[in-house]
Amino acid sequence: MSKISTLKDLRIWSAETAPQASPEDIAFLLGERLKLTPSEFQLKQDLELTAAQVEQAQKDLKKLAKGISPQYILGYSWFYGYQILVQRGVLIPRFETEELVNWALEHLRTGQTVLDLGTGSGCITVALAKEAEKKGIKDLTLYASDVTDAALRTSEENFLRQQVDVIVRKANVLIGLAKFDVIVSNPPYIKESEKDIMDQNVLQNEPEEALFGGKDGIKFYEKFAQQVRAHLNPGGEFFLEFGFSEKRQLEELFAEQLPDFTIEFKNDLAGKPRMVRGKWNK
**Whether pLDDT at 197 is above 50:** no
Domains (range + CATH), the chain: 7-74 (1.10.8), 95-280 (3.40.50.150)
In the structure, what pLDDT confidence band is assigned to residue 198 with cuts at 50, 70 and 90?
Answer: very low
Q: Using CA atoms, how far apart are residues 119 and 187, in angstroms rounded to an integer?
A: 9
Can you give the pLDDT at residue 244?
84
In the structure, what pLDDT confidence band is assigned to residue 210 with cuts at 50, 70 and 90?
Answer: very low
3-state secondary structure 131-161: HHHHCCCCCCEEEEEECCHHHHHHHHHHHHH
Contact 124, 96 (CB under 8 A): no
pTM listed for this prediction: 0.91
Contact 77, 71 (CB under 8 A): yes
pLDDT tens digits for range 46-103 = 999 999 999 999 999 999 998 899 999 999 999 999 999 999 889 989 999 999 999 9
Reported as type and span, the H/E element at residue 210 is none
Question: How many other CB atoms are found less than 10 A from the CB of residue 2?
Answer: 6
